[in-house]
């Protein structure tokens, strides 16, 4: 296991994180809060969830079942050729798993933030213990809330055909981020009370550590991601004989320069990259992380919209024009991201851009062999986008039995 230099970091990121090839593959990662229908204020034990998932066995289309620290359940699909195949595969895997959960009275709930229960950490792996200590040291409760109570829908799309295409797709994904945040905002409550945000999940993530959650951007994506990673503070240093804590304030660049507490390895780099959470994260594909978990009926829509706007040339051109007007020729600033999370599509500029983007996506999907998804996008448009609304605006008042 060789030791690392900064050049090695740049080489890994350019060769692996930004590996190019013909675009068109689509994957999704759906995170769900899990509730007991008879006791919705109680946390579902992770051991029970694991037992039920084990009973279900391997999912028919290969989605991986994993768990977040608070007991959120995640299904991550393999990549498939186009949004229709990705949707069909993940929908079938969800349909296979759901009866096993329902047999125990459990339900998958699509909310970006638990609206009722205070968070409880159920995973005790050294990684998550180090993560919690890192965020606690920052002085706020946001890190624990993020780990224990949030859920998202992540869309995974190819990097691009070549370096120039990758740069265009990288920029479009970043500029599209606030629009997707606003259109699918679905976390207006926490612990039974309104928060003042439509995507409180975004507000929680934004507050925990800007060095690992702010957007990356940059004209040269690989160079920008390498610089971001090197400047970010180290969250965990794996040890066989003690906690995985890192020296306060130590960046990855500093760790490389000093070699203390031990020289970092490639495995340490991979762990470090996995603890960085920008809204667009490169992992050999583009992982779009800005979308709240949405109600079960609607989860295919963000997958379809994002895939159409990045992969269909006509939809991409329309999106670029609308995004150029929204962002005034630049990348979105923090104010636009905050407006997306707070105001969503009540902001007229975000609403106008969302209408153009959703219409372009619905028009493109039949060309992509996804006519059924076009119908779902149109239904979402009529329910929310054309009315300047998002799921957070239509959430009923909470009346939850004890």
pLDDT in tens, the chain (402 residues): 458 999 999 999 999 999 999 999 999 999 999 999 999 999 999 999 999 999 999 999 999 999 999 999 999 999 999 999 999 999 999 999 999 999 999 999 999 999 999 999 999 999 999 999 999 998 778 999 999 999 999 999 999 999 999 999 999 999 999 999 999 999 999 999 999 999 999 999 999 999 999 999 999 999 999 999 999 999 999 999 989 999 999 999 999 999 999 999 999 999 999 999 999 999 999 999 999 999 999 999 999 999 999 999 999 999 999 999 999 999 999 999 999 999 999 999 999 999 999 999 999 999 999 999 999 999 999 999 999 999 999 976 544 444
Q: Is 249 within the bounds of a domain?
A: no
Q: What is the dihedral of CA 242, 245, 250, 255, to 10 degrees?
A: 40
DSSP assignment string, 34-59? EEETT-TTSPPPHHHHHHHHHHH-S-
Q: How many CB atoms lie within 10 A of CB 90?
A: 27
pLDDT number for residue 399:
44
Cα–Cα distance measured from residue 201 to residue 219, given in angstroms and rounded to the nearest whole number: 28
Cα–Cα distance measured from residue 15 to residue 303, given in angstroms and rounded to the nearest whole number: 26
Q: Give 326-329 contacts, CB < 8 A, sequence gap 24+.
A: 326/175, 326/178, 326/179, 326/350, 326/352, 326/353, 327/175
- Whether cis (ω within 30° of 0) applies to the bond prior to 261 is yes
Q: Which two tokens stand for residue 346?
A: 């009540």
Q: Which two tokens stand for residue 273?
A: 């990259």
pLDDT number for residue 396:
62
CA pseudo-torsion sign 201, 75, 29, 94:
negative
Q: Is 111 within the bounds of a domain?
A: yes
Q: Is 61 within the bounds of a domain?
A: yes
Q: Is 135 within the bounds of a domain?
A: yes
Q: Is 402 within the bounds of a domain?
A: no
Cα–Cα distance measured from residue 385 to residue 358, given in angstroms and rounded to the nearest whole number: 8
Q: Are 253 and 239 in contact (CB under 8 A)?
A: no
Q: Is 153 within the bounds of a domain?
A: yes
If one counts the domains in the chain, the total is 1
Range of the domain at 189: 23-216+276-383
Looking at residue 57, which CATH number applies to its domain? 3.30.590.20
CA 165 to chain centre: 22
Q: Is 347 within the bounds of a domain?
A: yes
pLDDT number for residue 398:
44
Cα–Cα distance measured from residue 300 to residue 305, given in angstroms and rounded to the nearest whole number: 9
DSSP assignment string, 123-185? ---HHHHHHHHHHHHTT-SHHHHHHHHB-EEEEEE---SSHHHHHHHHHHHHHHHHHHHHHT-
Report pTM.
Answer: 0.96
Q: Is 154 within the bounds of a domain?
A: yes
pLDDT number for residue 402:
46
């Amino acid at each position: 296991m060789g030791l690392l230099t900064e050049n090695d970091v740049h080489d890994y990121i350019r060769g692996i994180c930004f590996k190019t090839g013909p675009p068109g593959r689509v994957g999704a990662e759906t995170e769900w809060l899990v509730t007991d229908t008879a006791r919705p204020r109680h946390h579902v034990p992770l051991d029970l969830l694991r037992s039920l998932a084990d009973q279900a066995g391997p999912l028919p289309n290969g989605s991986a079942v994993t768990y977040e620290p608070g007991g959120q359940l995640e299904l991550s699909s393999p990549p498939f050729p186009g949004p229709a195949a990705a949707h069909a595969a993940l929908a079938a895997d969800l349909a296979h798993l759901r009866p096993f959960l329902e047999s125990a009275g459990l339900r998958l709930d699509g909310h970006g933030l638990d609206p009722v229960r205070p968070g409880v950490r159920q995973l005790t792996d050294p990684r998550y213990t180090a993560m919690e200590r890192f965020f606690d040291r920052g002085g706020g409760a946001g890190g624990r809330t993020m780990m224990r109570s949030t859920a998202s829908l992540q869309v995974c799309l190819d990097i691009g055909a070549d370096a120039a295409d990758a740069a265009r797709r990288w920029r479009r994904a970043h500029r599209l981020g606030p629009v997707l945040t606003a259109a699918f905002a679905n976390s207006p409550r926490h612990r039974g009370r309104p928060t003042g945000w439509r995507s409180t999940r975004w507000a929680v993530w934004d507050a925990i550590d800007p060095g690992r959650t702010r957007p990356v951007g940059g004209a040269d994506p690989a160079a920008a991601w390498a610089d971001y990673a090197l400047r970010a503070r180290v969250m965990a240093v794996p040890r066989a004989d003690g906690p995985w804590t890192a020296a306060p304030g130590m960046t990855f660049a500093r760790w490389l320069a000093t070699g203390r507490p031990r020289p970092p390895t490639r495995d340490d780099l991979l762990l470090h990259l996995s603890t960085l959470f920008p809204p667009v994260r490169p992992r050999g594909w583009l992982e779009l992380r800005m979308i709240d978990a949405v109600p079960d009926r609607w989860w295919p829509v963000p997958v379809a919209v994002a895939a159409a706007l990045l992969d269909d040339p006509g939809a991409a051109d329309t999106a670029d024009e609308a995004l150029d007007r929204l962002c005034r020729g630049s990348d979105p600033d923090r104010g636009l991201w905050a407006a997306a999370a707070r105001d969503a599509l009540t902001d007229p500029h975000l609403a106008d851009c969302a209408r153009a983007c959703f219409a372009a996506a619905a028009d493109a999907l039949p060309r992509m062999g996804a006519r059924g998804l076009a119908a779902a996008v149109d239904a979402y448009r009529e329910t929310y986008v054309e009315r300047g609304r998002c799921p957070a605006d239509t959430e009923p008042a909470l009346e939850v039995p004890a």
